[in-house]
Structure 1
Amino acid sequence: MAQANSSRVIDTVSDAEVVEQASLALFELTLKALSASRQLSVLQLRVLLAIEQHGPVNLGDVADQLDLSKPSASRLVARLVDDGLILRRIPETDRRQVELAVSAKGRRVLGSLHRGRQRKIGDVLDAMSPDSSEALIQGLLSFAEAATTTARR
């Protein structure tokens, strides 16, 4: 029994290494799309994506989600506000809070980045056999679902 468990641990580590390598390849495609746009740094993109996914949010939420200090998050947000990518709003329900939301310009920039990344990913998928790309897609769907479930715990 211990043998089977230790062998599965080895397989899990090996599997995790494979997934890590694939995630690094995806990250590299993201960086290429980002550098092609020449509009945002990686940190600015993380802030914009966090606000897009969870917004509207306040500055503390952004700092917490990205594990940044509030002063660092504030500087990043201020730059994105100055660039017109994020809107600051004071909600009617609590005038002491400031909500951050992605602006129309920010959504256009993110849309362009998403499309650029999807084109690069599409090129990679096209280079794969149909069976392999289908298996990858099914596996990634399952992985994303399990990651969401695990994150909730």
Structure 2
Amino acid sequence: MASALSGFESASDGAAVEQASLALVELTLKAMTAAPQLSVLQLRVLLSVERHGPLRLGEVAGLLDLSAPSASRLVARLVDDGLILRNTPPADRRQVQLVVSAKGRRLLTRLRGNRQRDIDRVLDLMSPNDRSALVQGLAAFADASG
């Protein structure tokens, strides 16, 4: 049976991982159909605030390599959509911190659920040995990437 990774015996490890990562990106983009109002960049902002938050606007811009005005527009849209909240910590009223709202967490949970179902369908097509090797390899890759 031919596979999408046929011929990787001669390809570099990096090329094989790149090809597999593209398959994961496609599954992620497919899962995003559950949130058609979000662009990929808006989703990146939401995920960054969830993972690293609470964050200040400048921190969002730095994490995603965006200009301050671009980050501000993206965050404003997410705030308007009720996906991100602006909080002012009592210790420093001049600071504005961004956090994911309950609505934003529900959206991310739905997106992850859609993606997980699609990933599980692909994993079900794999042999148990290949599946185990993939899971072990991805865990090691995640650890190495920090």
Q: Secondary structure at the match of 2:92?
A: coil
Look up the match of 2:131: 133
Look up the match of 2:71: 73
Offset at residue 115 of structure 1 (A) = 0.4
- Following TM superposition, the consecutive aligned residue runs of length 4 or more in structure 1 with deviations greater than 2 angstroms are none
Q: CA deviation digits over 1:119-141, x for unaligned, max 9?
A: 11111100111110110000000
**Identity rate of aligned residues, in percent?**
67
Structure 1 distance, partners of 2:33, 2:123, is: 21
Offset at residue 39 of structure 1 (A) = 3.0
Look up the match of 1:4: none
1:52 alignment partner, one of 30, 50, 57: 50
Look up the match of 2:80: 82
* Gap runs ≥5 in structure 1: 1-10, 149-153
Choose between structure 1 and 2: higher helix proportion.
1
Structure 1 distance, partners of 2:107, 2:35, is: 9
RMSD, matched Cα: 1.2
Look up the match of 2:31: 33
- Tell me the TM-score normalised to structure 2 length: 0.91
Q: Secondary structure at the match of 2:85?
A: strand
Q: Is the 8 A contact 2:49 2:100 kept in 1?
A: yes
Structure 2 distance, partners of 1:129, 1:70, is: 47
